[in-house]
Amino acid sequence: MREILLATGNPGKAKEMREILAGDDDTVVWRHLKEFADRRWPEPVEDGETFMANAELKARYYARLSGLWTIADDSGLVVDALGGEPGVRSARYAGEPKSDAANNALLVRKLAGVPDEKRTARFCCAVALSDGERVLARAQGVVEGRIIDQPRGTNGFGYDPHFWVPEFGMTTAEMAPEQKHAISHRGQALRLLRDELIALLRG
Ligand code: IMP
């Protein structure tokens, strides 16, 4: 039986990650950061220039502290007309304290006057598994869309109400959670990592 730490303090996100990663496999005991709250680990500084660099540094950091194999992710929105912003700074695009409303307002303001066809964007997610020394596996996922000014939908979080997915004719905030997970950057990255993890566990 191997214990694997999911490096998120959000139990809802941990559950979603576990559901995708575990599948039918019952040989892993899944842990998440809230279970280690009494250790008072400071959060790592996520100063990587790429989503993958941040996922790897987070996975390695918590694997060292916990002594467990650890999976971490990093994600964000990349907007072509803004030279890739908000990118790795997606969570705090409009500064501290982090606020989805302020981030979305800034995004819409920066895109004022940009025509529809130039509003292409993508959600990106990188996931990494580390044993504290090495990165044992890594994977990435991407979902393409366009930024719209008027928010639509109330599901999801972050930039979802402004992220329009042409194939579905709706924003990711208008999708049911299962529908979003099926196509999302995070879902794709985690499904790819699951395949690598199965191979590692079978040794
Ligand atoms: P983190 O990877 O949890 O740190 O997320 C980084 C930031 O990217 C979030 O705070 C959101 O602003 C944005 N983001 C990442 N994934 C999504 C998504 O699926 N929908 C909307 N916003 C997202």
Q: How many domains does the chain have?
A: 1
Asked if residues 190 and 183 have their Cβ atoms less than 8 Å apart, the reply is no
Q: How confident is the model over 128-150, as a mean pLDDT?
A: 98
Nearest CA to ligand 1 atom 11: 158
pTM, two decimal places? 0.95
What tokens does 147 get? 């930024």
pLDDT tens, residue by residue, 155-178: 999 999 999 999 999 999 999 988
Q: Measure 124 CA to ligand 1 centroid, in angstroms.
A: 9
Q: Could you say which of 73, 74, 149, 160 is catalytic?
A: 74
Task: Please count the CA atoms within 13 angstroms of the CA of 6 that sit on its side-chain side.
Answer: 24
pLDDT at 9: 84
Question: Which residue segment(s) compose the domain that 165 sits in?
Answer: 2-202
Sheet-wide strand order for 2-6: 28-32, 2-6, 69-79, 120-130, 135-147, 163-165, 170-171
CA angle 74, 121, 128 (to 5 degrees): 20
Establish whether residue 76 lines the binding site of ligand 1, counting it when its CB lies within 6 angstroms of any ligand atom. Answer: yes
- CATH number for 181: 3.90.950.10
pLDDT tens, residue by residue, 72-122: 999 999 999 999 999 999 999 999 999 999 999 999 999 999 999 999 999
Q: Is 74 noted as a catalytic residue in this protein?
A: yes
How far apart CA 114 and CA 103 sit, in angstroms, is 18
Nearest CA to ligand 1 atom 5: 75
The torsion region of residue 29 among left (phi > 0), alpha (psi -120 to 50) and beta comes to beta
pLDDT tens, residue by residue, 32-75: 999 999 999 999 999 999 999 999 999 999 999 999 999 999 99
How far apart CA 60 and CA 193 sit, in angstroms, is 16
Task: Identify the residue whose tokens are 């019952």.
Answer: 26
Q: Measure 123 CA to ligand 1 centroid, in angstroms.
A: 8
Q: How confident is the model over 136-162, as a mean pLDDT?
A: 97
Nearest CA to ligand 1 atom 8: 76
